[in-house]
Amino acid sequence: MKQARTLFDKIWDAHVVQDIEDGPTQLYIDRLYCHEVTSPQAFDTLRDKGIGVYRPDQVVAMPDHNTPSDQQQCINDPVGRKQVETLQRNCEEFGIKHFAMGTKDNGIIHVVGPEKGLSLPGMTIVCGDSHTSTHGAVGAIAMGIGTSEVAQVLASQCILQAKPKTMRINIEGTLPAGSTAKDVALYLMAQMTTSGATGYAVEYAGSAVRSMSMEGRLTLSNLSIEMGSRAGLIAPDETTFAYLKGREYAPKGKAWDEAVEQWKQLYSDPDAVFDKEVTYRAEDIKPRITYGTNPGAGIAIDECIPTLEEVPETERQQFLSQLEYMQFKPGQKLEGLPIDYVFLGACTNGRIEDFRAFASVVKGRKKAPNVVAWLVPGSWKVRQQIIDEGIDKVLEDAGFELRLPSCSACLAMNPDKVPAGKLCLSTSNRNFIGRQGPGARTILASPLTVAESAVTGVITRHSV
């Protein structure tokens, strides 16, 4: 009898080079992505050892963290500029494909990979960035790795990795109107905590997941790391194939047909056993926001921050510390609270579907005068789609400016920093202390919530 296997097991097993006794697995890697922040030391390691990149055709690099989103795209910060220039020199020296800043191929690495068909079902994908889990949405094992591990892959196209346990999270039913994949992810983090999937590779399943678009699935997988998971997979299906067909680096012609037939085998066997399995009702997932300084500290928009009595005694000190930083109080209602900034973008919600959703809300309306808005596409391809579809005109008429592709205000590594004390409603992935700028306060939300709030000037649920 053939042993039943999970989707994760099937991909993992197909890439095992060798199992080291009482040690990790040597795992073959199909795609390595590099950006400017975590790769310089890895290339230096290769130079120190006098070795080259083993398979440069399977490595793709681009700057994104330090890239400015203003019209000049001039990097004034000397550290950021050096990182971007160093990446380009390293790619030239080692013969690696480099999508340079300002070119049509550039963007946030976790947006560009799937949209170019560089990330494909059945692959193993790594990058020196925690949100590499994004690429698991196409049905791949995608993991963030450290700088020393980046050097391993550059040198050998393999990585030493302990095999994680498996977890399946089922979302069954139909999401309420106005709820999005971002709300699903925020709900899961609140239910499971930000460490609830530590040590696991998560497969997302259920009718609500199957009904998501690829953009929604990419958002869901992107936030897997915020629950502690190394990877977040979704079994490829017709939605996946339709999204990937015709992409620049996807197979073509007969090779496409053969690839799809192979990809159709990438699913968890009906009797496969997971180390852990949980199920949630989609109908319970309302549009959500965060109130604290980790993505799991969240509530439905129409709910109040928990009272002190509702928080376990062992967690109260941390709870109060988060609220002190955010300038909130236990039991406070955040709906209707004035905001200072909004940010639409990041590898979480910087895709064309997110801009379509935002534009559908603000069309024919005007941005609130008290709100500073940064609308930043996740790639130059997304930006061109926005222009081709006339979304830029809708945004302009509503008082918004379309900026240039960048990680932007997701993290304080470029000029788009939220000033200290200011409150930003953001579609990004993390609300950590200082994440968007020293002293900045961040509330995570979906593009629909951010759009509605940008118009009203206060935290507002979008009514569909």
Q: Are 228 and 153 in the same domain?
A: no
Question: What is the percentage of the chain residues whose pLDDT exceeds 70?
Answer: 100
Give the whole-angstrom CA distance, residue 251 versus residue 351: 23
Q: Are 147 and 211 in the same domain?
A: no
Strands of the sheet with 423-426, listed across from one edge: 372-375, 341-344, 423-426, 441-444
Q: What confidence score (pLDDT) does residue 116 get?
A: 98
Give the whole-angstrom CA distance, residue 7 versus residue 264: 11
Q: Which of 108, 133, 162 is the last residue of a domain?
A: 162
- pLDDT tens-digit profile of 237-293? 999 999 999 999 999 999 999 999 999 999 999 999 999 999 999 999 999 999 999
Give the whole-angstrom CA distance, residue 272 versus residue 422: 49
Q: Which of residues 388 and 463 earns the better pLDDT score?
A: 388
Q: How confident is the model at residue 357 (pLDDT cuts 50, 70, 90)?
A: very high
Q: How far is CA 83 from CA 199, 288, 332, 437, in A?
A: 32, 36, 43, 20
CATH number where 211 lies: 3.40.1060.10
Q: Is the pTM of this model over 0.85?
A: yes
Helix (H) or strand (E) holding 397: helix 391-397
404 domain-assigned: yes
Q: Which of 251, 284, 317 is the last residue of a domain?
A: 284
220 domain-assigned: yes
CATH number where 96 lies: 3.30.499.10
Is a pLDDT exceeding 70 seen at residue 409?
Answer: yes
Is a pLDDT exceeding 80 seen at residue 1?
Answer: no
57 domain-assigned: yes
Q: What is the mean pLDDT of residues 161-166?
A: 96
Q: Are 151 and 200 in the same domain?
A: no
Q: Are 179 and 293 in the same domain?
A: no
Is a pLDDT exceeding 90 seen at residue 22?
Answer: no
Give the pair of three-digit tokens for residue 358: 């935002």
Q: Are 15 and 80 in the same domain?
A: yes
Helix (H) or strand (E) holding 144: strand 141-144
Q: Which of 162, 187, 215 is the last residue of a domain?
A: 162
Q: What confidence score (pLDDT) does residue 272 get?
A: 97
Is a pLDDT exceeding 80 seen at residue 464?
Answer: no
- pLDDT tens-digit profile of 68-117? 999 888 999 999 999 999 999 999 999 999 999 999 999 999 999 999 99
Rounded-to-5 percentages of helix, strand, coil across the chain: 40, 15, 45
Q: What is the mean pLDDT of residues 144-156?
A: 97
- SS3 per-residue string spanning 374-391: EECCCEHHHHHHHHHCCH
Taking alpha carbons only, the member of 114, 228, 116 closest to residue 169 is 228
Report the amino acid identity of residue 137. A
Q: Are 100 and 193 in the same domain?
A: no
191 domain-assigned: yes
378 domain-assigned: yes
Give the whole-angstrom CA distance, residue 9 versus residue 238: 22
Q: What confidence score (pLDDT) does residue 403 get?
A: 97
- pLDDT tens-digit profile of 110-144? 999 999 999 999 999 999 999 999 999 999 999 99
User: In which domain, by residue range, is 310 found?
Assistant: 288-456
Q: How far is CA 56 from CA 34, 91, 98, 133, 156, in A?
A: 12, 9, 11, 22, 10
Q: What confidence score (pLDDT) does residue 71 get?
A: 85
Q: Are 23 and 151 in the same domain?
A: yes
Q: Are 38 and 173 in the same domain?
A: no
Q: Are 37 and 146 in the same domain?
A: yes
Is a pLDDT exceeding 80 seen at residue 2?
Answer: no
Q: Are 204 and 296 in the same domain?
A: no
Q: What is the mean pLDDT of residues 408-432?
A: 97
Average per-residue pLDDT for the chain: 97
* Cβ neighbours around 19 below 10 Å, total: 11
Reduced to 3 states, what is the DSSP secondary structure of residue 184?
helix
2 domain-assigned: no
Q: Are 125 and 214 in the same domain?
A: no
263 domain-assigned: no
Inter-residue contact 164 to 203 (CB < 8 Å): no
Q: Which of residues 174 and 20 earns the better pLDDT score?
A: 174
- Split into its structural domains, the chain has a count of 3
Q: Which of residues 20 and 235 earns the better pLDDT score?
A: 235
Q: Are 73 and 121 in the same domain?
A: yes
Reduced to 3 states, what is the DSSP secondary structure of residue 408?
helix
Inter-residue contact 394 to 359 (CB < 8 Å): yes
Q: Where are the alpha helices (DSSP H) in 64-213?
A: 78-94, 109-115, 147-156, 181-192, 207-210
256 domain-assigned: no
**How would you label 175-199 residue by residue, b for 16+ Cβ within 10 Å and e otherwise?**
beebbbbbbbbbbbbbbbbbebbee
